[in-house]
Amino acid sequence: MRKVTFLLSAALMSFGLYGQQKSNSLSGDLIIFHAGSLSVPFKEIAAEFNKAYPNVKVLMESAGSVASARKITDLNRPCDILASSDYGVIDNMLIPKYADWNIKFVSNELSIVYTEKARLADKINSKNWYELLMNKEVAFGRADPNADPCGYRTVMALQLAEKYYKKQGLAKMISEKDQNYIRPKEVDLVALLESGSIDYCFLYRSVAIQHKLKYVALPDEINLKNMKMAAEYATATAEINGKEPGKKETVKGEPMVYGVTMLRDAPNKPAALAFLQFLLTKEKGMKIMEKNGQPSVLPMATKNYDKLPKELKPFAKTGK
């Protein structure tokens, strides 16, 4: 019995040392470009990841998802992982030249976010929000459609709101008001809210939760959350800057789904793969994402399933 116990202890010790050696074998910088709305959960995930892989230095840089992709396509900046608030940014801007695959991992919804200091804060609700935003005493902000998916999703949501509330011209009237409060990415708007420069903004519900802000939940017909309303969302469109200077392209509305990829020329592929496994594991990264108001959609179909590393295939399905 003693011999069996000794052998078992030795085996466990050996496994522990192997696991430690495996963790220590990963090192160097890990460069992650990500959507601003991922800043809070990714910071938490990176801290937990570093407990398992202490020799990896996680370097994270937030920006609007379109702007993040352009750091790679236009500026040729080195990057290991890109996480976008719209999986379509990866499909349209990075695949096939800069990346081979795309995993859809969390969802979100658009809402009207504010603080207690906002004018008419005691009156706003899901039925009158558009009337309050048009009030001359009220200022609101939104993200830049050319830099951030939250920006073009706002444009789409306004079109859907015009149809839902049966208010002709509503989208145009709101879009033309307070244009001096358009910012490159959605989290820039949080600073304007907290300083009192604006009263309200169009923002993801998750950001409101993460920053302990108040928010008005919009109907599913408007908020781009409901997977079953894809056909309705697709009736809304937004025109944004194209891949080439001076050219425009049209994006269609669809349910909000975030995407993540590892770049083909990632400088630190072993660390990137380990981080992605950690991020996408239900009890690890995805638990943190859920806590921060961004529910998992794993596994979802991806058209590049066959190109996924074998370690990441459990987190996706074949399809489009």
Please identify, among 201, 225, 252, the residue that sits at the C-terminal boundary of a domain. 252
Q: What is the pLDDT of residue 16?
A: 46
Task: Tell me the C-alpha distance between 18 and 28, whole Å.
Answer: 20
Domain membership of residue 13 (yes or no) is no
Q: What is the pLDDT of residue 122?
A: 95
Which two structure tokens, joined as six digits, stand for 262? 């590892």
Examine the domain organization and report whether 115 and 231 are in the same domain: yes
Q: Mean pLDDT of all residues in the chain?
A: 91
Q: Is the pLDDT of residue 1 over 50?
A: no
Domain membership of residue 185 (yes or no) is yes
Contact status, residue 103 vs residue 288, Cβ threshold 8 Å: no
Task: Tell me the C-alpha distance between 203 and 134, whole Å.
Answer: 17
CATH code assigned at 201: 3.40.190.10
| Amino acid letter, 103 | I
Residue-wise pLDDT tens digits, 151-165? 999 999 999 999 999
Task: Tell me the C-alpha distance between 248 and 230, whole Å.
Answer: 23
Examine the domain organization and report whether 169 and 114 are in the same domain: yes
Q: What is the pLDDT of residue 46?
A: 98
Domain membership of residue 15 (yes or no) is no
Q: What is the pLDDT of residue 14?
A: 45
Residue-wise pLDDT tens digits, 14-69? 444 434 445 668 999 999 999 989 999 999 999 999 999 999 999 999 998 999 99
Examine the domain organization and report whether 242 and 265 are in the same domain: no
Examine the domain organization and report whether 114 and 248 are in the same domain: yes
- 3-state secondary structure (DSSP) of residue 214: strand
How many domains would you assign to the chain?
A: 2
What percent of the chain clears pLDDT 90, i.e. is strictly above it?
Answer: 84
Please identify, among 252, 270, 297, the residue that sits at the C-terminal boundary of a domain. 252
Examine the domain organization and report whether 146 and 127 are in the same domain: yes
Considering only residues 296 and 242, tell me which one the structure prediction assigns the higher pLDDT. 296
> Residue 38's domain spans which residues?
25-108+256-318
Query: How many residues comprise the chain?
Result: 320
Please identify, among 222, 252, 282, the residue that sits at the C-terminal boundary of a domain. 252
Q: Is the pLDDT of residue 244 over 80?
A: no
Domain membership of residue 4 (yes or no) is no
What percent of the chain clears pLDDT 70, i.e. is strictly above it?
Answer: 92
